[in-house]
Amino acid sequence: MIYYKTDDEIELMRMSCTLLSKTLAHVASLLKPGITGLEVDRAAEVFIRDHDGAIPGFKGLYGFPGTLCISTNAAVVHGIPTNREFEEDDIVSIDCGVLMNEFYGDSAYTFAFNGISDEIEKLLSVTKKALYLGIDQARVGNRVGDIGYSIQDFAEKQHGFGVVRDLVGHGLGKDLHESPEVPNYGKRGRGVQLKDGLVIAIEPMINLGNKAVKKAPDGTILSKDNMPSAHYEHTIAVRTDGPDILSNHEWVEEEIKKNSEIRQIE
């Protein structure tokens, strides 16, 4: 069952996405080599709960212990915050969810410290661009396959990176995961047709090596070849006049510009 949202419900979801985007921006202001995932996670939880009625969307869901999914280097998604200190050559994917006014928001951003290689910087840049290519296809009358095709064609066929198949984007609303699934691969003209009021999370997960993944004992999803992986995500609403991005990475990138410990990814 696909639940299409009313204009009022989309505005409530925009509020959730606004708070989670500001949370990711707050995280961006804190990141530096030597800080731990647990420290960042605690700061994010305090930031979210400081807003009346808002709670972390991930904490306790499916048994997850953290406010943030913090996935470092070869971790694709679902990384658990730990006491490990971040290092100068790490990339850190941070996925945040907020539940507010009964509706979820969901967004992710991969941060890079200054010691990363040019090859890894390219991975992040391609994944970030692939996200927006996918979003551009989220238009009334198009199909889910158009989104996946645009991401796969750019990241895999044009740049040779591995597009993860085992994990996909999704609808969301009063539940974090709703129908339809939104794969980052596919064929044009295939899949569920996109209609006005559909709200989906588009989230390319792209590996430097091949597409295969494995699951660690704690539930973290890792690239099978232990090569780095990047992850960017927006919540968007399909509208008659085009895709409406409800989350906001501009605030995150404003904080990155102020933080000399983090590399800006174009």
Cα Rg, the chain, nearest whole Å: 17
Number of domains into which the chain is organized: 1
Average pLDDT over residues 157-163: 98
Query: Residue 243: inside a domain, yes or no?
Result: yes
pLDDT score for 120: 98
Q: How far is CA 148 from CA 1, 177, 234, in A?
A: 21, 18, 14
Query: Residue 204: inside a domain, yes or no?
Result: yes
Among candidate residues 10, 15, 20, the one with its CA nearest the CA of residue 252? 20
Average pLDDT over residues 50-59: 95
Query: Residue 192: inside a domain, yes or no?
Result: yes
Query: Residue 150: inside a domain, yes or no?
Result: yes
pTM for the complete prediction? 0.97
- pLDDT tens digit sequence for 3-29: 999 999 999 999 999 999 999 999 999
Positive or negative: CA dihedral 255, 256, 258, 262: positive
d(C-alpha 124, C-alpha 144), whole Å: 23
Among candidate residues 217, 239, 230, 228, the one with its CA nearest the CA of residue 14? 239
pLDDT score for 31: 98
- pLDDT tens digit sequence for 169-189: 999 999 999 999 999 999 999
- pLDDT tens digit sequence for 26-47: 999 999 999 999 999 999 999 9
* Mean pLDDT, the chain, integer: 97
- pLDDT tens digit sequence for 73-92: 999 999 999 999 999 999 99
Q: What is the CATH number of the domain that holds 245?
A: 3.90.230.10
pLDDT score for 255: 98
Query: Residue 264: inside a domain, yes or no?
Result: no
Both tokens assigned to 138: 């989220």
Band (94; pLDDT cuts 50, 70, 90): very high
Query: Residue 263: inside a domain, yes or no?
Result: no
Average pLDDT over residues 225-237: 98
Question: Is the pLDDT reported for residue 52 higher than 90?
Answer: no
Average pLDDT over residues 123-127: 98
Query: Residue 266: inside a domain, yes or no?
Result: no
Phi, psi angle pair for 100, to nearest 5°: -150, 135
Show Cβ contacts of residue 70 under 8 Å, excluding neighbours closer than 6 positions.
37, 40, 41, 79, 80, 81, 82, 92, 93, 94
Domain carrying residue 212: 7-258
